[in-house]
Amino acid sequence: MRENGRNGAERDKQRHERDEYYMRLALREAEAAMAEGEVPVGAVIVQGDRLLAAAHNQREQLRDPTAHAEMIAITQAAAARNDWRLEGCTLYVTLEPCPMCAGAIVQARIARVVYGARDPKAGACESLYRLVNDPRLNHRAELRGGVLAEEAAELLRRFFRERR
């Protein structure tokens, strides 16, 4: 029992380190968005140890309202796998997904979502809706929020401060 407990704690620690590692990549994408004058949000998609996608918000540059970081990453990952089903994949994103992106996560059957900062105004994983684990929909994702949340929130605050 004691051994199991110790192994469980070790596994949790490894998972948390892994989550922080990939969230740092997502934060790097958010910084790239910032440098391009876009709202700084970044996302990566991972399957096992394979990085399938890394993207950032490009709404202004692409003049496309659907060009959120998560949407671009999902399209990239599906292209990398040559399959629209992203079963077994984890999506890391610096900001809680909006309804569009949370809906896309369900459509893509992504297994796990890890996000950074909460979005009280439009978040659709926990804040306004719980779209990624609605038992009425045909897929549910495991969810973890708050990973490197302060770094993600600080980038957003800096962006909106500089814009004023």
Which residues are marked as active site? Answer: 70
* Residue 42, strand partner residues: 56
Q: Does position 87 bind a copy of itself by CB under 8 A?
A: no
Closest to a copy of itself by CB, 18 or 59: 59
Report, in Å, the least distance between residue 116 CB and a copy of itself: 19
Q: Does position 134 bind a copy of itself by CB under 8 A?
A: yes
Which region, judged by CB under 8 A, interacts with a copy of itself, from 2-10, 12-20, 104-112, 152-160? Answer: 104-112
Rounded-to-10 torsion of CA 103, 104, 106, 107: 120
Closest to a copy of itself by CB, 119 or 148: 119
Q: Does position 112 bind a copy of itself by CB under 8 A?
A: no
Closest to a copy of itself by CB, 4 or 138: 138
CA 132, CA 140: separation in Å to the nearest integer?
Answer: 5
Report, in Å, the least distance between residue 85 CB and a copy of itself: 7
Q: Does position 143 bind a copy of itself by CB under 8 A?
A: no
